[in-house]
Amino acid sequence: MDKWDCRNLRLDGKAVFIAGAGGLGSTIARGVSEAGAKVLLADLDLAAAEKVARTIKKKKGPCRACKIDILNPLQITQATQLCRQSFGGMDVAINCTGINIRKPSLNMTGEDWDRVLDVNLKGAFFFAQCAARTFIRQRRRGKIIALASVLSFFGMENRAAYVASKTGLVGLTKALAVEWAPYHINVNAVAPTFISTSINRETLAGEFKERLIDRTPFRRLGKAQDVVGAVIFLASDASNFITGHTIPVDGGWLSA
């Protein structure tokens, strides 16, 4: 970019592949659509992705939905192909899938550990690999965005596998950013604080919620909408010289 233009913050004409149509993925999908993007939304839960796609299409935003398992690289590749066929290419890939199994570390099984690390870290790697291969094949710039967490930066009881996966994601983001910069691929992540979605609705009740609010300088929980701006920024041309970083969206939590 030779000259600053506010339109650099828009996503007009860009094709965005979003994996994960849950609380954050659905809000991000609607947000990038409003910023001008064409959206392919994929989830293990096809009905959830289709429901969000319908709300986007009602507002005249180009959007398609499909089913993927983030643990299946072939399905991810097929989704990138669908994105290219539907929208003439793919410019941005955002991974909003994720799971958590909360239990005391003394009781965690190998199966629990593998499930969380597989979806949150291995899934994130192969999602990024499929996206990068697509960008390289297209011979054009691409952006990869992962969903890390404030738990990428500090520990919390009963969440060892989740904390390990999200901390790993920060390192993975750096490693891929360095490796793929020669292809003009930006790899970044956003790290939201606790936001009430299906991944943590149960734990965000009662005393735990009060503790979180008390610990947050802005004295409130985060909302899914709080995360959208950082994602649009990382998806847009405004961030072309930023790679390898994880941006916290935390109401000041990590600074307190």
Ligand X SMILES: NC(=O)c1ccc[n+]([C@@H]2O[C@H](COP(=O)([O-])OP(=O)(O)OC[C@H]3O[C@@H](n4cnc5c(N)ncnc54)[C@H](O)[C@@H]3O)[C@@H](O)[C@H]2O)c1
> Which one of 34, 36, 62, 99 is in contact with ligand X (CB under 6 A)?
99
Question: How buried is residue 202: exposed, middle or buried, by Cβ count under 10 Å (0-12/13-18/19+)?
Answer: exposed
Residue 11 or 24 with smaller CB distance to ligand X: 24
Question: Which residue out of 17, 162, 180, 233 is catalytically annotated?
Answer: 162
Confirm or reject binding of residue 71 to ligand X (CB under 6 A).
yes
Number of neighbours of residue 244 by Cβ within 10 angstroms:
16
Q: Are 8 and 1 in contact (CB under 8 A)?
A: yes
From candidates 18, 40, 41, 48, binder to ligand X by CB under 6 A: 48
User: With binding defined as CB under 6 A, does residue 149 bind ligand X?
Assistant: yes
Cβ proximity to ligand X: between 61 and 222 the closer is 222
* Coil vs helix vs strand at 157: coil
| 162 catalytic residue (yes or no) | yes
Residue 42 CA to residue 25 CA, distance in Å, equals 9
Cβ-Cβ contacts under 8 Å for 43 (sequence gap 6 or more): 19, 20, 21, 22, 25, 49, 65, 67, 68, 97
234 φ, ψ (degrees, to nearest 5): -70, -25
Q: Verify binding: residue 247, ligand X, rule CB under 6 A.
A: no
Verify binding: residue 70, ligand X, rule CB under 6 A: yes
| Shortest distance (Å) from residue 198 CB to ligand X | 4
| Span near ligand X by CB under 6 A; candidates 33-41, 81-89, 94-102, 153-161 | 94-102
Crossing angle for the helix pair 160-180 and 123-138, to the nearest 10 degrees? 20
CB of 214 to ligand X, least distance (A): 17
Residue nearer to ligand X on the CB measure, 44 or 177: 44
Which residues of this protein are in contact with ligand X, per CB under 6 A?
Answer: 20-25, 43-45, 48, 68-71, 96-99, 119, 147, 149, 192, 194-195, 197-200
